[in-house]
Amino acid sequence: MKMANRKLKEFEKIALIFEDIKGILRFSDVFGRKTAVHIEIGSGKGTFLVNQAFTSPEVDFLGIEWANKYYRYGVDRMGRKGLENVRLIRTEAASLLANNIADESVDCFHIYFPDPWPKRSHHKRRFVCTQNVEQIIRCLKKGGLINIATDHKEYYEWMKSVFGFFNGRLEQCQFVRPAGAMNDELVGTNYERKYIKEKRDIFTLAFKKI
């Protein structure tokens, strides 16, 4: 169903308002329990979050999305599903990680099809950079995972190079295929399904905090 044809509802329990966050975000307060926490950076329309939250009720999921139209659609979608273990916040991911996520509080980060900013002059806008990976490592629990997918080969090589700076703190591991991925998919997001139709190659990376 297209967003233009759908009246979006605002589900207050799903929507986490950035302006309401004062200091460090306490996941136990947000979800009402203490359990494993996964964060998706760039949630889009929420396809991954909906599928993963439904199949993994024992895990709490936080999605970060900047684009307001996708954020609103995702909130509506998750609210209609009646999911209890997922929240979505509209904000800039790098700032949230640096200022509002506690040390060693996250079990897994998911980064699927981030904007590659292909022009050389725009590379500084890429999410995967040494500063942001430093924050991800700080936020991860020991043994925590980072799961990444992209259709952009040059960005894939860029990411391998960036993560290479952290060899002593991360080790490369096997990519964990999300629950929503179908037989011919690695992730199962809307972007991936579009790229498969366009016959693009999909590249994955995965790391574990040592």
Q: Which residues are part of the catalytic machinery?
A: 115
Q: How many Å apart are CA 62 and CA 52, to the nearest integer?
A: 11
Q: How many Å apart are CA 69 and CA 72, to the nearest integer?
A: 5
| SS3 of residue 8 by DSSP | coil
**Residue 172 bridge partners (DSSP):** 207
Q: How many Å apart are CA 116 and CA 93, to the nearest integer?
A: 15
- What is the per-residue DSSP string for 113-137? S-----SGGGGGG-S-SHHHHHHHH
Identity of residue 197 = K
